[in-house]
């Protein structure tokens, strides 16, 4: 932060939620002061922040530490305000002090200044606040590892999932259609590998086989159906689901707070490229 103005703005916005349980039980504890008092002491507090900031600028390393504290408080308050918008004003506090996921994520939010990451963390905090135990330590580790570019890449790749959490492995196979896909929709394997290394997708390709095969099987893509119709109903070889990479549990946790968009061209690509023995492929 280059001046205390942005922190003052953050406190002003937070003061509108200062009397909610979310702030009185959680955020006041995390910041060390009561946001609800800000409105009453606004002009006095603003002058105090300006004076403290000017003093800190002249105090070398110690001053820089105080300025960093101001910046982290600003980040926390911005995320807290976003969280409050996902909560009822009278939502009771169910968080206990031993909820490591929650309190560690609160602490991590102090270092997050980008809007996209603050919004994601806010939604997750709101979910954990209303239903403690919703998330794992693994999800916390991933949230601490990703930045806004990783988040954008993940949301982009989630636009190509079928059946809610499966990324078709044949997308990365060689062939003319693969070249067409990359040219029009840049689904690069190197980027997907980064998401796997972050823990958002599992590494291994999954091969599902159903012994009891239906005459008509369906694969869903954003509400649209790819219809697979059995050619020889007397054949008992079962149904081999097209190989895929699966979202990890943490990847699925994060996906529920994103809004990936479908691509019409990709749906057509799926119809052309999904091949299952003894089944024809068509659209709904």
Question: pTM, whole model, 2 decimals?
Answer: 0.89
Decide: 121 and 79 in contact? Cβ < 8 Å: yes
Indicate whether 146 pLDDT > 80: yes
What are the Cα distances from residue 1, in Å, to 43, 51, 137, 225? Answer: 20, 15, 31, 50
The 10s digit of each residue's pLDDT in 167-199 is: 999 998 876 566 667 677 888 899 999 999 999
Decide: 130 and 237 in contact? Cβ < 8 Å: no
Percent residues over pLDDT 90 in the chain: 62
Exposure of 139 in the CB half-sphere (CA atoms within 13 A): 23
Q: Are strands 209-210 and 239-240 parallel, antiparallel or unpaired?
A: antiparallel
E strands, the chain, in order:
166-168, 209-210, 216-221, 224-230, 239-240, 244-246, 279-283
Percent residues over pLDDT 70 in the chain: 89
Least confident of 100-109, 111-120, 205-214: 205-214
| Three-state secondary structure call for residue 170 | helix
Model confidence band, residue 280 (pLDDT cutoffs 50, 70, 90): very high
Decide: 19 and 82 in contact? Cβ < 8 Å: no
The 10s digit of each residue's pLDDT in 229-264 is: 998 877 767 788 999 999 999 999 999 999 999 998
- Report the pLDDT value the prediction gives residue 89, as an integer from 0 to 100: 87
Mean pLDDT throughout 152-162?
A: 97
Report, in angstroms and rounded to the nearest whole number, the Rg of the chain calculated over CA atoms. Answer: 25
| Three-state secondary structure call for residue 231 | coil
Mean pLDDT throughout 157-161?
A: 97
């Amino acid at each position: 932060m280059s001046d205390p103005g942005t922190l003052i703005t953050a406190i002003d916005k937070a003061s509108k939620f200062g009397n909610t349980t979310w702030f009185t039980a959680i955020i006041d504890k995390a910041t060390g002061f009561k946001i609800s008092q800000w409105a009453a002491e606004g002009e006095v507090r603003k002058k105090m922040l300006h004076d403290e900031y000017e003093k800190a600028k002249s105090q070398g390393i110690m001053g820089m530490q105080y300025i960093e504290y101001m910046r982290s408080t600003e980040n926390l308050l911005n995320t807290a305000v976003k969280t409050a918008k996902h909560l009822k004003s009278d939502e009771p506090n169910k968080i206990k002090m031993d909820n490591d996921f929650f309190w560690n994520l609160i602490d991590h939010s102090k270092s997050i200044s980008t809007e996209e990451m603050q919004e994601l963390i806010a939604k997750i905090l709101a979910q954990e606040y209303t239903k403690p135990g919703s998330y794992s330590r693994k999800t916390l580790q991933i949230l601490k590892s990703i930045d806004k570019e990783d988040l954008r890449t993940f949301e982009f790749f989630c636009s190509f999932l079928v059946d809610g959490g499966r990324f078709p492995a044949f997308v990365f196979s060689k062939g003319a259609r693969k070249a067409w896909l990359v040219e029009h929709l840049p689904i690069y394997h190197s980027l997907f590998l980064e998401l796997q290394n972050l823990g958002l997708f599992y590494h291994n390709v999954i091969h599902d086989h159903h012994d009891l095969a239906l005459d008509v099987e369906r694969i869903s893509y954003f509400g649209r159906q790819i219809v697979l119709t059995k050619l020889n109903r007397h054949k008992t070889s079962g149904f081999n689901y097209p190989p895929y990479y699966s979202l990890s549990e943490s990847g699925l946790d994060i996906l529920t707070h994103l809004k990936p968009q479908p691509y019409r061209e990709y749906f057509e690509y799926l119809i052309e490229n999904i091949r299952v023995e003894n089944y024809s492929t068509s659209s709904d």
